[in-house]
Amino acid sequence: MKTTIFLFHPDYKDSRVNKALASGAKNAGITVRNLYDLYPDGEINVNKEQAVLESTDRIVLQFPMYWYSSPALLKEWEDKVFEHGWAYGSTGDKLHGKELMLAVSPGAPTSAYHHDGKNYTVTELLRPFQATSSMIGTKYLKPFITVGATSISDADLANQVTNYVKYLEEENIPKLGTYEEE
Ligand SMILES: Cc1cc2nc3c(=O)[nH]c(=O)nc-3n(C[C@H](O)[C@H](O)[C@H](O)COP(=O)(O)O)c2cc1C
């Protein structure tokens, strides 16, 4: 199974968590594409991205949570790369049957993500990606979440890196049901 991590971090040089996770994955031999490095001007090479996606079985989108969603380039990437007739529509089947997995780091701790009258669970906040997965015919795997990313200790981060690599190397990562909570 070919896994590719599509990493979206606009400030990667100052990243601690995503840099550690990406380095762990790279050291384990997993391909990591740093999209902000590849496209510093935001001009995405759609043909190139589609070719990489077509050659991948498990698509991992890794990013820090920004404003309850993703950094902007990921949205631009989706808008440009998931073309009608390629990713969806009557002839758009190129991603059908592949796996889609998110690896997301919210800066705030778990306690910030529950129904307290003004917030939602992380799973709920990520539903647009799950709906997109359904539209493009991929299997939406249970996301790998690193909560409390702004204050995670060195020891917990090291542990999280080990768990990330193990998770990525699993043959059968469970899917997340349409309305299921993690
Ligand atoms: C523009 C911006 C928006 C952010 N929005 C959120 C947010 O909505 N929820 C949250 O928990 N953390 C938020 N954060 C914190 C980041 O998710 C956190 O700093 C990041 O995951 C840490 O990973 P890193 O060390 O790889 O940068 C935000 C940070 C920035 C810079």
pLDDT score of 182: 79
- Are 98 and 138 in contact by the 8 Å Cβ rule? The answer is yes
Q: What is the CA radius of gyration of the chain?
A: 16
Mean of all residue pLDDT scores within the chain: 98
Average confidence (pLDDT) over 148-168? 98
Q: Ligand 1 in contact with 68 (CB < 6 A)? A: yes
Q: How confident is the model at residue 19 (pLDDT cuts 50, 70, 90)?
A: very high
pLDDT in tens, 3-13: 999 999 999 99
Secondary structure class of 27 (helix, strand, coil): helix
Among the atoms of ligand 1, which is closest to the Cα of residue 69? 8
**What are the residue ranges spanned by the domains of the chain?**
3-169
Architecture of domain 3-169: 3-Layer(aba) Sandwich (3.40)
Q: Which helix (H) or strand (E) is 65 found in, with range?
A: none
pLDDT in tens, 86-134: 999 999 999 999 999 999 999 999 999 999 989 999 999 999 999 999 9
Using the predicted structure, report yes or no on whether residue 178 has a pLDDT greater than 90.
yes
Which is nearest to 140 in space by CA: 43, 59, 54? 59
Diameter over CA atoms, the chain: 49
Which residues are registered as beta bridge partners of 117? none
CA of 45 to the centre of ligand 1 (A): 27
Give the global pTM: 0.98
What angle separates helix 46-54 from helix 72-81, to the nearest 10 degrees? 80
pLDDT score of 49: 99
Among the atoms of ligand 1, which is closest to the Cα of residue 21? 26
pLDDT in tens, 38-74: 999 999 999 999 999 999 999 999 999 999 999 999 9
CA–CA dist 87, 63 (Å, integer): 22
